[in-house]
Structures are given as C-alpha cells and as structure tokens.
Amino acid sequence: MKYNIKEIRMDRKVTQQELADRIGVTKGFICRVETGTKPISLDLAAAIADYLNVSLDELAGRKQEQGKE
C-alpha cells in the first residue's frame, strides 16, 4: 500500500529526517515507505498520522464521501 505521507509531510513542511527522528526510524525507512517499497505496521502508521495530525484514512489516501459518516 502506498501512503499519502510525502504529500502531507511536505504540506506541513516536515522533513523526512524530522519525521524519522520523531517516530524512531531512519530517513531511509521513511523514503522507502513514501515510495511504496516498504510496508509499515499499523502502529507506525498511527504514529506518523499522529505526528502529522491527520487520520489514518487521510494518511492512506482515503477520502470520506460527503454525506457519509
């Protein structure tokens, strides 16, 4: 699964290194996740979402349809 991490991270002006340091992984790991070559656990996805202040759905590129909850 390719996450929407890069776009969100760049929008928030967070570097790969800052994100990596915050969640306890390497910059290379973040790079591989952003390109879709490295899967991540739900725990790491949640940590990234928390740091970037987005939902897991938004991080995964899922958009909520209007009128649906």
pLDDT in tens, the chain (69 residues): 667 999 999 999 999 999 999 999 999 999 999 998 999 999 999 999 999 999 999 998 887 654 455
**CA 2 remoteness from chain centre:** 9
pLDDT at 50: 97
Whole-prediction pTM:
0.83
Residue/partner pairs of 25-33 with CB below 8 Å, 24 or more apart? 30/5, 33/3, 33/5
CATH superfamily, domain 5-58, is lambda repressor-like DNA-binding domains (1.10.260.40)
Asked if residues 4 and 60 have their Cβ atoms less than 8 Å apart, the reply is yes
Residue position matching structure tokens 């070559």:
37
